[in-house]
Chain A
Amino acid sequence: MGSIFLPNLRTGWHVDQAILLEDDRLVIIRFGRASNRECMLMDEYLFQIAEKVKNFAAIYLCDIDDVPDFNQMYELYDPCTVMFFYRNKHMMCDFGTGNNNKLNFPIHDKQELIDIIETIYRGAIKGKGLVISPVDYSSVRRQ
Chain B
Amino acid sequence: MVIAIGFEGSANKLGVGIIRDQHILSNVRHTYVTPPGEGFLPRETAQHHRKYVLEVLQEALDDAKISLKDVDVICYTKGPGMGAPLTVTALVARTVAQLYNKPIVAVNHCIGHIEMGRLIAGTENPTVLYVSGGNTQIIAYSQQRYRIFGETIDIAVGNCLDRFARLLKLSNNPSPGYNIEQGEKLVLLPYVVKGMDVSFSGILSHMEEHLSKWLDTKAFTIEDLCFSLQETVFAMLIEVTERAMAHVGSNEVLIVGGVGCNERLQQMMNIMCEERNATLYATDERFCIDNGVMIAVAGLLQYKSKGGTPWTQTTCVQRYRTDDVYVSWRK
Instruction: Judge: A and B partners, yes or no.
Output: no
A contact residues vs B (CB 8 Å cutoff): none
